[in-house]
Amino acid sequence: MSQLRHPSAAGYFYPGDKDKLREQVEWLLTIGHKDKIIDNIAGLVAPHAGYIYSGRTAAFAYNTIKDKNFKNVIIISPSHREYFEGVSVYEGDGYITPLGILEINKDMVNHLTEGSKNIFKGDAGHRQEHGIEVHLPFLQLILPEFNIVPIVMGDQSKKYIDELAKRISEIIPENTLIIASSDMSHFYSRRIADDLDSIAEKRINNFDYEGLYDDLEHKRCEACGGGPIIAMMKALDLNNKNKSVVLNRSDSGDTTRNYDEVVGYLSAAVYS
């Protein structure tokens, strides 16, 4: 492999040592677990903060796919560090984590980007972005062998969401999982954060991605990865997978004990 994306968040958002990383993820999976089994899962929403803050909520999502046999995982993240128009799909050979290399499904990348002016191959948005990277160790410990398609939205305007959803809907075989990477409200008091995040929670539970888009546009709620969530849900809706359930919701105050300014987290599953 000639072009590999090296970790940028290791040692910051999660342990850089592979043994410590494995130990932490395995521990999170033991505490972020519900007994309810959801069949026919096709999509997940999971947060992307440091593991000490949002790892337990993320684990609720990843435990739902334990023992599943996904061969491809599409991960859609917002771009936190750079703005660019459109959607960037990583053009390299793989992403590295302390647990090893995950190969890119280049056929799916080509199908997503071919003939599009808005969805393109490149490394824009991928270089320092943590919103994809933090999910990979969970996947590496939960799933057997699989490939990934890393996608970063530089602009979450409706035209990009709609085109991405349509193109994903046209290429997803039965053994593909789509992950939308997103945190929720940022830096409000816990009371206000709960009010905002409960609106998004209701929309997701009702599989109402159009209502969620409207709420985000009119600032009735917040999600830094709102575009990825909506694109994932719409892509799956186009494939008749249109049920969803919120698995867990939390905020950073659970860790920091500072409830004056919290960041909200949510995990959810989409299924048929």
- Which pLDDT tens digit goes with each residue over 83-100? 999 999 999 999 999 999
pLDDT band at residue 188 under the 50/70/90 scheme? very high
pLDDT band at residue 176 under the 50/70/90 scheme? very high
Residue with tokens 């929403």: 45
d(CA 124, CA 84): 8
Q: What is the mean pLDDT of residues 222-242?
A: 98
Task: Give me the chain's average pLDDT, please.
Answer: 97
Q: Is 132 helix (H, G, I), strand (E, B) or coil?
A: helix
Q: Is 93 exposed, middle or buried (0-12, 13-18, 19+ CB in 10 A)?
A: middle
Q: Is 11 helix (H, G, I), strand (E, B) or coil?
A: coil
pTM of the model: 0.97
Domain 4-174+223-228 belongs to what architecture?
3-Layer(aba) Sandwich (3.40)
Q: Where are the domains of the chain?
A: 4-174+223-228
Q: What is the mean pLDDT of residues 209-215?
A: 98
Residue with tokens 């859609």: 76
Residue 118 has pLDDT above 80, yes or no: yes
CB 72 within 8 A of CB 147: yes
In DSSP terms, 44 is beta-bridged to: 179, 269
pLDDT band at residue 211 under the 50/70/90 scheme? very high
Q: What backbone phi and psi angles, to 5 degrees, belong to 189?
A: -60, 160
Q: Is 60 helix (H, G, I), strand (E, B) or coil?
A: helix
Residue with tokens 């186009």: 238
Nearest one of 65, 46, 82, 222 to 142, comparing CA atoms:
65
> DSSP string spanning 26-90?
HHHHHHS--S----SEEEEEE--S-HHHHHHHHHHHHHTTTT---SEEEEEEE-SS---SSEEEE
